Amino acid sequence: MTITRLRTRAVAVPVGKPTRMSNRDLNVRHYLLVEVGAADGHTGVGYTYAGTGAGPLAKLAADELLAPVYLGADENDVTGLWERAFQESLLEGRRGTVLRALSAIDIALWDLRAKRAGLPLVSFLGGATDPLPSYASGGYYRPDEGSWTDAVIREIEFNASQGFSDHKIKVGGLSVAADARRVAAAVEAIGDTGRLSLDANNAYRSVHEARTAIEAFERAAGDRPLWWFEEPLSPEAVAGHAELSRTLRTPVATGEIHQTRWEFRPLIEAGIPVLQCDAGVAGGVTEWLRIAATAATFGLQMAPHWHHNLHVHLCGAIPNALVVEYFALEKGIYNFELLLTPETRLHYADNHVHIPDRPGLGIEFDTDMLDKFDVLS
């Protein structure tokens, strides 16, 4: 069926309270939303995180650069359209915001095709609808929540009240000693029932700095192994991540900023054990599945970054999914679900997330919330 329309919208959703990570303050999230429509009235939706201020830029890339590739084309020519859209970006930049815009359009196209088939996206991709292992993500730095250790303990307790036994917190935003105290407090609060991973958001400037930090965190955790050490270095530091992966006791995770199979190739060849490919960043469903399949041939696992409403479908369709990252809307940090109708937000229980049985992604946007947060209105 022919694609007859492609509509986009940029929205900006403020976070709940002053928040920071290791390398930046966080006050607002920009999202690009995409709707593609076919001649017979069927529609599909896609989305991506556009950073803390690039929503209008992502919309411009989608509208002016990429939409002409898709309009008038066959909705089933997914791979061909991806290749043509990628080629169209040659002079404008095949990374960053342009690729995020391409990702959102590609996701919308897969949602359209799955809806037409009357299947959840996971089923359309050949996967099962069984619940998937998940973990509660967070542990950001919020100065109005009391002492750093008390804040971590309260968050772990909140996660546990929602049924999560596995957790992730930030590191790299304080001194190594102060972060080590937070790690010790988190491990103590978790007890013997779950796991803790640490996300540095590229905080450390060298392999030596990163190694010094993680060894301190491992000592703080005592005899409890840490689950993984996420993005200790800059995304470009592939060799550095590889060296840490070879020499650390704690597994290394990275990949959430990397885009396309070409950027993932050196990570895969280096044997990074946990790949955090984000379909909203790397090139959409089409490219994510290619990367996941290649990773599987190397015995590497996928633990995608963010977008649990999407990644729950993709993880259910591959053999090498490790876990789905979940952000509780109540934390006001990753706040995408504020844009969805309550009944189409993701369900969770017992350290698992549940794949929706509705066609496509199974999400529906709340038009009142879209109007409220529209960047250009």
Q: Please check whether residue 113 lies inside any domain of the structure.
A: yes
CA atoms within 13 A on the CB side of 374: 11
Output phi, psi for 131, to 5 deg. Answer: -55, 150
Q: Please check whether residue 246 lies inside any domain of the structure.
A: yes
Residue range 30-51, pLDDT digits in tens: 999 999 999 999 999 999 999 9
List the beta strands (DSSP E) in the chain.
Answer: 3-20, 25-38, 43-51, 132-137, 167-170, 196-199, 229-230, 252-254, 274-275, 301-302, 324-326, 347-349, 352-354
Report the pLDDT value the prediction gives residue 8, as an integer from 0 to 100. Answer: 98
Q: Quick one: 41 and 143 in the same domain?
A: no
Q: Quick one: 94 and 187 in the same domain?
A: no
Residue range 194-211, pLDDT digits in tens: 999 999 999 999 999 999
Q: Quick one: 142 and 268 in the same domain?
A: yes
Rounded Cα distance between 282 and 277, Å, is: 7
Q: Quick one: 90 and 231 in the same domain?
A: no
Q: Quick one: 16 and 102 in the same domain?
A: yes
Q: Quick one: 96 and 128 in the same domain?
A: no
Q: Quick one: 31 and 142 in the same domain?
A: no
Q: Quick one: 186 and 300 in the same domain?
A: yes
Range of the domain at 83: 3-118
Q: Please check whether residue 365 lies inside any domain of the structure.
A: no
18 pLDDT tier (thresholds 50, 70, 90): confident
Kind and range of the H or E run holding 343 = none
- HEC string of 155-187 equals HHHHHHHCCCCCEEEECCCCCHHHHHHHHHHHH
Report the pLDDT value the prediction gives residue 344, as an integer from 0 to 100. Answer: 98
Residue range 239-257, pLDDT digits in tens: 999 999 999 999 999 999 9
Contacts of 99 (CB under 8 A, 6+ apart): 89, 259, 260, 281, 282, 283
Rounded Cα distance between 243 and 229, Å, is: 13
Q: Please check whether residue 306 lies inside any domain of the structure.
A: yes
Q: Please check whether residue 361 lies inside any domain of the structure.
A: no
Q: Quick one: 48 and 181 in the same domain?
A: no
Q: Please check whether residue 36 lies inside any domain of the structure.
A: yes
Q: Please check whether residue 368 lies inside any domain of the structure.
A: no
In one letter, which amino acid is 187?
A: V
Tell whether pTM > 0.75.
Answer: yes
Rounded Cα distance between 147 and 288, Å, is: 39
Residue range 141-190, pLDDT digits in tens: 999 899 999 999 999 999 999 999 999 999 999 999 999 999 999 999 99
Write the CATH number for 81.
3.30.390.10
Spatial CA neighbour of 310 closest among 144, 103, 143:
103
* pLDDT, mean of residues 324-338: 97
Q: Quick one: 32 and 168 in the same domain?
A: no
Report the pLDDT value the prediction gives residue 23, as an integer from 0 to 100. Answer: 86
Q: Please check whether residue 177 lies inside any domain of the structure.
A: yes
Q: Bridge partners of 6?
A: 36
User: How far, CA to CA in Å, does 316 sit from each of 121, 130, 235, 293, 376?
Assistant: 10, 8, 27, 13, 36
Q: Which of 74, 98, 118 is the last residue of a domain?
A: 118
The total of structural domains in the chain comes to: 2
* pLDDT, mean of residues 290-298: 98
* pLDDT, mean of residues 129-142: 97
Q: Which of 118, 140, 171 is the last residue of a domain?
A: 118
What percentage of the chain reaches a pLDDT higher than 70?
Answer: 100
Q: Quick one: 201 and 337 in the same domain?
A: yes
Cβ contact 28:153 at 8 Å = no
Contacts of 113 (CB under 8 A, 6+ apart): 44, 75, 76, 78, 124
Residue range 64-114, pLDDT digits in tens: 999 999 999 999 999 999 999 999 999 998 899 999 999 999 999 999 999
Among all chains, which residue has been given the structure tokens 């959102």?
A: 104
Q: Quick one: 185 and 253 in the same domain?
A: yes
Write the CATH number for 262.
3.20.20.120
Q: Which alpha helices (H) appear in 249-327, and where do they start and end? A: 260-269, 279-282, 284-297, 308-315
Output phi, psi for 235, to 5 deg. Answer: -55, -30
Residue range 350-372, pLDDT digits in tens: 999 999 999 999 999 999 999 99
Q: Which of 73, 90, 118 is the last residue of a domain?
A: 118
DSSP 339: G
